[in-house]
Structure 1
């Protein structure tokens, strides 16, 4: 479907043309018409599916620039994500400068924002829940006039403890406000909020055709008892990426990786919750300007951030929450471009890897050899070999050995008959086992 099919305002079409948006993504095709009709919507789709423009386009379609009131509010759980949405919104404003859009996030001058609000109210408010609520409580930001409220990355909002603030913001609106909730997943703990504020919502779940994009090579490299730091350095020197994101499970580990790589002469940025807001803003700008070749990040800090041109994602370890694996890997291979994801693992990670494989994620085992990353054996090969050995019947092994020896023809014939019978019996047992497995699989699928 083309964006021109929506009969949008000329300045919106001009903006979409400027950013080379012609055809809709699946989430945009399904949800934009619903929002334009005024329906409350819960949109569940993976990162990188085009959610931001799914709500920005209808918001700009409905905004009346002649009215000096707040008409839409968007909250996002991190400063970086809110700023990213703001930057996309400002591309529309470039083609209609009558529309006032503001970005309210922590780490900025609240008193100055209050002073400006005394003179005029923005048409579109974008920000983090905490700062938006602060401005409402100061009676400076008058959100009660808004007709649309977007909660972006709702599951992350919940994870980071901001749902209480979002609840208080939602309570300031008129009951007729259009509620739009977007999320990669809809956790059970989010249900009370949805029931409280959404009126007969349309729930659109956009299933991924593949768990991770088929443009991504997904590699698995064993640490084999080596230190992760040295493994990371060896991988980095081997691949020499255009731009790599390195994910760590904790802020402390991110700091450790960052220091190690910097001490080895690499240009490395780090993004996590412990980095001061102003510094994070400066780092993000530098990353976008390609001043760094490597970015070390934690899951929550990096979630939803769209850094262009990420050629490689390196997982220092498998995330504790396996859902984050998909978010991490999804930082590369975007917009049809190719990408590579590399995951370091130890033998203790086998069960987590199996769980990821059950989710439909496929890995290619690799090893670094002579300065190259090359294919290696399946990590299960030893286990499979041991299993095969265990399955051999000791009696049959003895009979086979006897048959090879020089013995009387009659006895040899008898051994052959016994072996044939045992082979038939084993085949029957295997057929029965396969039949049971197939029936069980059909039952589960049904």
Structure 2
């Protein structure tokens, strides 16, 4: 395993740029993929959020860049404007020590299109970053000469698929040279993404970076029940106790984001809101203000959870448990980055025990907490619930029989509670069974794909 960036044979300009941001040791995804990309291999990199995959592709791209060639050399497609802006800033930072000016352009929706067209009429950028729709428009209108590119990065591919942009990416890739080096990065590789990967990647290097824990060990996960409390008031208490450096509060809907922001502002807090209802230019302005520490509190939808590197987040609060548990990981991953400590607080209602249990199955270990007299204190051990459920499982037949024989001695409703517990356990077992079956099917498909490729090579 590469122990330092000095082992990767990077250009002196890049080493100077890395020194500026105190990057000394590459992350696992960087250590594994940078040498492979520099060897001109196509890659599929799968790793969790916050793994450092942006620099895993930017560093070899800049290392192989030809500053004297005034044409498009690399395309980087991202599903969101915020992520494109973040990659653009990282790319500009890496270019700071080059003697020649590196032409880097960022094309996303909500920006001055006519101005960008005029600039493209004067010169073509060497590194193109943008959202798939805007890149496709410029390509189809012959403003952007993408056909000269020899590298194409598809970042957050699963999110690209979910947001309906894969057709645009497919259209762009179809116009590029056959000897194209493709780099696909994603937190997950869903089944619907497989046809695209087979179409454009021939014998790629596939790296799935395992993690000992799905959540960084530097993050403390606290679980707080909202039973008997007003949630808005509880969140206000959590935000104002202690001295949090920067807090992200994630909500499941745009409506809830607006509602909570209004409440917190009414209580005198200066709060930034990031959601799909905020115009893109306004979101960009707010993100810059957050980066400049003009806000201590940010309320956001999951739009901000994927790929947005807001530095210095000390706390994350989950206003609700997301229906897609991938988003839980992405939310919590906003804190505890680069070895820093962080606190992730998840609020839950008593009826959400099953959702909490599903998160725990991912390997997340919660510390139960509650707010008392303006302080966070330890709460009851949630394992008591597990022990009670286990006891009921062992005694189910006996208890059911006892309910039938001793109806007068057992309080009303107890039989219903037993049936409910049995039904809930059966549902949990079924979910686990389906999840395991899906995992086995993916493994089988992967093996079959590898066998077919092996047969073709013979």
TM-score higher than 0.5 here?
yes
Q: What displacement does 1:192 show?
A: 0.9
Q: Which has the larger radius of gyration?
A: 1
Checking the alignment, whether the CA contact within 8 Å between 1:27 and 1:54 is kept in structure 2 is yes
Q: What displacement does 1:380 show?
A: 5.3
> Any idea what SS the aligned residue of 2:293 has?
coil
Q: What displacement does 1:14 show?
A: 1.7
Once residues 44 and 228 of structure 2 are traced to their aligned partners in structure 1, the CA distance between those partners, rounded to angstroms, is 46
Once residues 383 and 187 of structure 1 are traced to their aligned partners in structure 2, the CA distance between those partners, rounded to angstroms, is 32
Matched, 1:310 2:294: no
TM score, norm. by length of structure 1: 0.85
Checking the alignment, whether the CA contact within 8 Å between 2:305 and 2:330 is kept in structure 1 is no
Describe the shift of the 1:388–1:202 C-alpha distance in structure 2 as closer, same or farther (beyond 3 A). closer
Matched, 1:288 2:279: no
Aligned to 2:54: 52
**Structure 2: gaps of 5 or more residues:** 400-436, 441-458
Once residues 219 and 287 of structure 2 are traced to their aligned partners in structure 1, the CA distance between those partners, rounded to angstroms, is 24
Which of the residues 324, 329, 332 maps onto 1:329?
Answer: 332
**Structure 1: gaps of 5 or more residues:** 395-443
Q: Deviations over 1:8-59 (max 9, x none)?
A: 2221222122222222111111101111111110000011111011101111
Which of the residues 325, 334, 359 maps onto 1:356?
Answer: 359
Q: What displacement does 1:214 show?
A: 1.2
Q: What displacement does 1:386 show?
A: 8.2
> Any idea what SS the aligned residue of 2:339 has?
coil
Which of the residues 130, 154, 164 maps onto 2:167?
Answer: 164
Report 1:63-74 matches (<5 A): 63-74=65-76
Which of the residues 130, 133, 140 maps onto 1:137?
Answer: 140
Checking the alignment, whether the CA contact within 8 Å between 1:219 and 1:365 is kept in structure 2 is yes
Checking the alignment, whether the CA contact within 8 Å between 2:305 and 2:334 is kept in structure 1 is no
> Any idea what SS the aligned residue of 1:270 has?
strand
Aligned to 1:4: 6
Matched, 1:345 2:348: yes
Aligned to 2:418: none
Which of the residues 232, 236, 239 maps onto 2:239?
Answer: 236
Aligned to 1:123: 126
Aligned to 1:439: none
Checking the alignment, whether the CA contact within 8 Å between 2:37 and 2:60 is kept in structure 1 is yes
Describe the shift of the 1:387–1:208 C-alpha distance in structure 2 as closer, same or farther (beyond 3 A). closer
Once residues 63 and 143 of structure 1 are traced to their aligned partners in structure 2, the CA distance between those partners, rounded to angstroms, is 16
Report 1:46-445 matches (<5 A): 46-96=48-98, 97-379=100-382, 381=384, 384=387, 391=395
Q: What displacement does 1:362 show?
A: 0.6
> Any idea what SS the aligned residue of 1:43 has?
strand
Once residues 190 and 303 of structure 2 are traced to their aligned partners in structure 1, the CA distance between those partners, rounded to angstroms, is 16
Checking the alignment, whether the CA contact within 8 Å between 1:3 and 1:24 is kept in structure 2 is yes
Describe the shift of the 1:175–1:232 C-alpha distance in structure 2 as closer, same or farther (beyond 3 A). same
Checking the alignment, whether the CA contact within 8 Å between 2:132 and 2:169 is kept in structure 1 is yes
> Any idea what SS the aligned residue of 1:217 has?
strand
Once residues 111 and 386 of structure 1 are traced to their aligned partners in structure 2, the CA distance between those partners, rounded to angstroms, is 63
Q: What displacement does 1:318 show?
A: 0.5
Q: What displacement does 1:272 show?
A: 1.2
TM score, norm. by length of structure 2: 0.83
Once residues 265 and 29 of structure 1 are traced to their aligned partners in structure 2, the CA distance between those partners, rounded to angstroms, is 46
Describe the shift of the 1:127–1:385 C-alpha distance in structure 2 as closer, same or farther (beyond 3 A). closer
Aligned to 2:20: 18
Q: What displacement does 1:240 show?
A: 4.0
Q: Deviations over 1:74-100 (max 9, x none)?
A: 011111111111111111221124221
Once residues 246 and 154 of structure 1 are traced to their aligned partners in structure 2, the CA distance between those partners, rounded to angstroms, is 25
Once residues 11 and 360 of structure 2 are traced to their aligned partners in structure 1, the CA distance between those partners, rounded to angstroms, is 46
